[in-house]
Chain A
């Protein structure tokens, strides 16, 4: 099995991240000056003391921007540097540039600013009431939900809230801008979206895109947090580098990164669910209040994906889902693994849990009865093309003997006073594609050098997910040569242009297809040369392990010899492959279409153990049947499942973004915002492959894997709920994730103490 190509470099500490790039002489260091109030008019700012501080070269403000002071990715509602108003704590107002990072930081305290505070909104429902929306609401409908409710045996309503989540990539946002000759500027950025950085730098600096080169070697974690959110910091470094004609590095301190940068959206939602007497869900009506923060960022796209994942893995014939993106005075909320999907799934799972508790049946019974089947239509019109939801459900029961597992838990609970276990099943169905169709394209540039080595570039950004390894596997396979002969270049906008961000789990699919297209073109030409040399038809030429031969005449020709011959014959040994995903389309007027290339399915079983004295819990066991398609690198793919699962569990259990009513993030450091450590990992994680063929639109039929498994983590929430209710059957805790140790303890003793 092919290991991650970066493995050795990582382990030896030799891999280079932005902050590790050896600085050029004269490099300056920038630190942003961030707003300390959540909503205010700026009455006055005096930078004179800061400018006179030791080592400070300059303080840049909106007035120093030669182009537009605008960085909004989808909606033009976000300034790079605040002018007369600030809208959230952490909003950048100025950039201090100094000889060293510390000197810049020390000058922060010397800026005299006077604010007039304005009304602060932090709650999305309040924002909605006050008409404070980032953009108009959207509604997806199928069937006739009101009529269907009238025919339902059971109808339940409730509220479900899920909290935000900090990405906590260990590498903070980082950029390094170098002013080159003429107007050219080169930026090393820790971004998932080099083209977004390039385009925005051009816009803010008043340049053309071809003046701006963005280069990315790798990221120290991203998870969506560096899709759009990396842009501002790169633009600031570029702005300073351009004005001062010096290299400028801007690496955020964790304290700044955590308060200023975007996170997963908190959602508050109202649901109404209707079931018939056979427990078939007939109707589902839901309203999502997405806390969008002060600026739109990627919220429109995230809100849209929420609407696509209203029903998770279930077929519900009548649905109505409305989503509001509520403008509040908090930092931006942005892409985070799952991209609005997890929030939708938490609501439908809550609705099912409530139904099961009210009716008095196992939650899993309702889940199982409603799994989507082949040819059922998703509520947005796309037809379901497989029975993978049911297959993964059945397989988990069969292979892991879930029935016995559950019996063991029930037995354990009846014998135990203070330690209770709980379990849940969590099916997941996640659509793969950027839902904005123009983004579903990619290019790859492949060079075969005259010595037979191969170098290639794509738009994919490596952030630990192993995309570079997969792409190299593809190139090696396409040429039938050893992977050692192949090098993948950094992601660079001058080599591969107009890239989509590496996001939506699509990095390997889109860029991989482009790599294959480019490689096949070159190979076709090489086959012709080989046929000539071997005196055969091109169709008879076979490439095997660096040797080229024909079936008829087994005269060996080495790859190196073939390439050299082709070069001497002046054959084109470079190619740019272009791929655009076929078939997909979506009409926003009708909210109908075929937005996804395919769906990824799976089911997780989760068990937890809860100490009912202290409220402390542990995730014991997670068993997963996951639909990898025909995985091209099962080691990397299982690593993605394990990592996403842990992040999902973190989101549902201990990761809690707390704000005060002044819009200040209280969980503003790693000592206050807790992500899972090694002891929080489930004691046991078993992952089985669902044997499926895999769709053509997935690279080598190997399905996208980055995001879907995160949502298995939702199972931890419902397993905890099960454990709480085993101890205290009267307890009906609010559906309010994360289920922190505080909430478990309060839930364990809540109702029972009320006489």
Chain B
């Protein structure tokens, strides 16, 4: 039996573990503020808060209920707008009202929840950054931006680290929130069995297979895979069940891979990053998986474990076999991701998609590079969207290794890059576009990482005189 708290109500339900939380909220509980927009996590109209005890401390984040299998609500506090309503408008609602940030109103509850999640969190980013997963088709967003600025002001007065308490005290949250921490601690959560369909955040499986998952027994990844990060003997051992946001915001990651943090916004949206896990992004094996492309440039390894708890290690680059096929055996799961702590590289990530945020890349690429005395000592160049798998560009990387960091080097590696890729034309772009784009982004890595080593004009010269792509025009 799945047990959780929905707003102020304790829920005990035998509904299907793999059915969506959104349907439960609307159909079973008749709470209709949470809207159905797209059922693929791309519009945010179904955004709810998920509260859970993290090291015993109540913590809230925004998630999309459409992609949340009901079993993932087990032991959590789920909050819809109904559960945030006060007698009058809440400060977040008021910020929206004062700035005329609602027109047709259908997306509005999702925005209110997303902004409230931001206010509740101990993140010091701007409120607007929490809204990347919410689509509004009416307002043109300028009014919503103003509301978000108002939320930033509200956040200023909350003492860092005790946001929830203070919001209750100020009357910004319903009083029942004060009892949630205790109530959650008392819930006896279920433990799923490994022989079901393994699902972690649900951000892919619930899009692709929502209908069939309703009938399946679910194995909740959280019951089997750690989400903790540890440092052991010069290796960072990342529990593969960690969500993307938790990964990027983890203290050890920020300490050892500080280069990553700038690129967080380019991955999915706040809600999806709160749900999707590293293992999920890797095992999905999408040729444009952002996490895979990043981790390839850190020469990452995977720890795989079978049902007899036998483990083996595999380089991430060897994990991807062909389109959506991996070396994972049927009874194996990804348990950990390993990165060496001495990966003291220059790192850059580039991603181009039709829309810059919350979109799937046409091409994404990472470059991890160490340069010593003008010589390229170590280099890991990865690219997505140009082959059937997220690809470590081994030949290009090998070509670059040991060469001088210079314009002729960059120029001479371009044919190697071209020879290593085979992009296809699809909804994300034509093959010639992807070829050209990868060349551009490859050079962009160097423009960004070595602004003092290269004259922009010289790079421009490579782009405009290089005959590599001529035959295609």
Contact = CB atoms under 8 A, between A and B. Distances in A.
Q: Do A and B interact with each other, yes or no?
A: yes
A639 B103 CA distance: 8
A418 B460 contact: yes
B274 to A, nearest CB: 17
B453 interface: no
A669 B40 contact: yes
A613 B447 contact: yes
Given A8-B89, A171-B104, A614 B437 contact: yes
B35 A220 contact: yes
B112 A11 contact: yes
A753 B427 contact: no
**Candidate in B144, B464, B466 with the most chain A CB atoms within 10 angstroms:** B464
A16 interface: yes
Interface stretch (A156-164, A203-211, A670-678): A670-678
Interface in A624-675: 635-636, 639, 642-647, 654, 656, 658, 666-667, 669-672, 674-675
A666 B359 CA distance: 15
Contacts of B214: 102
A401 interface: no
Interface stretch (B292-300, B319-327, B416-424, B428-436): B428-436
Contacts of B436: 745-746, 749
A359 interface: no
A678 B42 contact: no
Contacts of A13: 32-34, 80-82, 85, 108-109, 112
A222 B104 CA distance: 9
Interface stretch (A38-46, A116-124, A461-469, A552-560): A461-469
A755 B135 contact: no
A219 B132 contact: no
B280 to A, nearest CB: 16
B285 to A, nearest CB: 17
A570 interface: no
Interface stretch (B250-258, B393-401, B438-446): B438-446
Contacts of A675: 135, 137
B440 A9 contact: no
B277 interface: no
Interface stretch (A76-84, A389-397, A679-687): A679-687
Given A12-B93, A749-B436, A749-B463, A676 B456 contact: no
A646 B103 CA distance: 14
Interface string A723-755: 000000000000000001110011001101111
A17 interface: yes
B172 interface: no
A16 B33 CA distance: 9
Contacts of B360: 671-672
A753 B81 contact: no
Nearest to A743: B433
Interface string B107-137: 1110010000000000000001001101111
Interface in A1-40: 3-4, 6-17, 19-20, 22
A678 B132 contact: yes
B103 A671 contact: no
A177 B103 CA distance: 27
A754 B469 CA distance: 9
Interface stretch (B94-102, B162-170, B221-229, B367-375): B94-102
B143 interface: yes
A20 B45 CA distance: 14
A741 B428 CA distance: 10
Nearest to B470: A753
Interface in B131-169: 131-132, 134-145
Given A19-B32, A418-B456, A749 B469 contact: yes
A440 B473 CA distance: 52
Given A614-B352, A752-B464, A643 B139 contact: yes
Contact of A7 (B81, B97, B107, B463): B97
Given A614-B441, A670-B135, A680 B473 contact: no
A646 B137 CA distance: 8
A285 B343 CA distance: 64
Nearest to B34: A13
B457 interface: yes
A658 B128 CA distance: 31
B437 A615 contact: yes
Interface in B350-370: 350, 352-360, 362
Contacts of A614: 350, 352, 437, 440-441, 444
B252 to A, nearest CB: 29
**Candidate in B80, B82, B427 with the most chain A CB atoms within 10 angstroms:** B427
Contacts of A253: 39
Interface residues of B, number: 83
Given A616-B352, A670-B40, A749-B464, A3 B97 contact: yes
B473 A750 contact: yes
A106 interface: yes
A10 B108 contact: yes
A220 B33 CA distance: 12
B85 A643 contact: no
Contacts of A685: 140, 142
A639 B427 contact: no
B329 interface: no
B358 A4 contact: no
Interface in B171-198: none
B354 A221 contact: no
A169 interface: yes
B427 A658 contact: yes
Contact of B470 (A105, A618, A635, A754): A754
Nearest to A687: B142
A434 B447 CA distance: 55
A676 B464 contact: no
A169 B473 contact: no
Interface string A191-222: 00000000000000000000000000011111
Contacts of A656: 354
B253 to A, nearest CB: 24
A669 B105 contact: no
A681 B145 contact: yes
Contacts of B207: 671
B1 interface: no
Contacts of A618: 356
Interface string A222-246: 1100000000000000000000000
A654 B360 CA distance: 13
Contacts of A551: none
A351 B426 CA distance: 31
Contacts of B350: 614
A254 interface: yes
Contact of A674 (B85, B107, B359): B359
B211 interface: yes
Contacts of B138: 221, 464, 639, 643
A622 to B, nearest CB: 10
B402 interface: no
Contacts of B96: 7, 11
Nearest to A642: B140
B24 interface: no
A113 interface: no
Contacts of B43: 170, 670
B358 A642 contact: no
A168 interface: yes
Given A11-B89, A615-B440, A742-B430, A464 B464 contact: no
Q: Which 8 A-B pairs have the closest CB atoms?
A: A13-B33, A464-B104, A220-B106, A10-B105, A646-B140, A464-B103, A670-B42, A642-B140
Given A4-B100, A746-B436, 14 more contacts: A11-B81, A13-B33, A17-B35, A105-B211, A218-B105, A417-B456, A465-B103, A613-B440, A646-B139, A670-B38, A677-B132, A677-B357, A741-B353, A745-B440
18 contacts: A7-B97, A7-B100, A10-B102, A11-B105, A12-B81, A19-B32, A218-B104, A220-B105, A223-B137, A613-B444, A614-B441, A642-B142, A644-B140, A677-B134, A679-B357, A741-B353, A745-B436, A746-B433
